[in-house]
Amino acid sequence: MKLSAILLISVLAIGCQSKKLPLKTGLEGKPMPMIDLLLIDSTTHLNINSIKSGKPVILFAFEPWCPYCKAQTKSIIAKIESLKGIDFYFLTNSTYPGLKEFYNRFELQKYHNIKAGIDYNYSFARYFKTSQVPVMAIYDSNNNLKQLLVGKNYISTIKDVAFN
């Protein structure tokens, strides 16, 4: 029993990072990967690679249970007006009920620049070789990777990477 508790705490600590950390992936400058999402309506599929908005795009990998993901979402929503020039794609490997609860809790339907879905093939984690959340892959307006940020980040950092 004690060993199970220690293992659970270890997994949660490793999988849900709290510190800001830019990672060098070797993928900087590369176009968006092929990631299929099942969107919140549970019927629409979207391949991330097909996004052509002409604006910076952030792929935000999260898990509904992660406190740092929740905190990052709250900070994004609090500053959404200053982030309206960025398209956000919230993606999770969670279940549909988990995504739906998170989506409703934060009222993400209110924000035209936020879309959410399930990465049912675990493509984001495999492509970026990470099992941590939250993670943000920030792409420029030409859909080329600028930087990968792990953990909760300041909005000023996100804007700096996205717009500069």
Q: Strands of 114-118's sheet, edge to edge?
A: 21-23, 145-150, 135-139, 57-61, 87-92, 114-118, 36-39, 45-47
- pLDDT band for 9, please (50, 70, 90 cuts): very low
Percentage of the chain surpassing pLDDT 70?
Answer: 86
- 2-5 own/partner pairs: CB under 8 Å, 24+ apart: none
* Total domains in the fold of the chain: 1
Domain boundaries, position 122: 2-163
Residue 114 CB contacts under 8 Å (≥ 6 apart), including other chains: 76, 80, 88, 89, 90, 108
Domain CATH code at residue 24: 3.40.30.10
- Is the pLDDT at 151 greater than 60? The verdict is yes
> Cα–Cα distance between 26 and 10 in angstroms, integer?
28
Beta bridge partners, 31, equal 144
- pLDDT band for 15, please (50, 70, 90 cuts): very low
pTM of the model: 0.85
> Cα–Cα distance between 22 and 38 in angstroms, integer?
28
Per DSSP (E only), the strands in 65-132 are 87-92, 114-118
According to the model, what pLDDT value does residue 24 have? 79
96-134: string of b/e by CB count within 10 Å (b at 16+)? eeebeebbeebebeeeebbbbbbbeeebbbebbebebbb
Residue 47 DSSP symbol: E
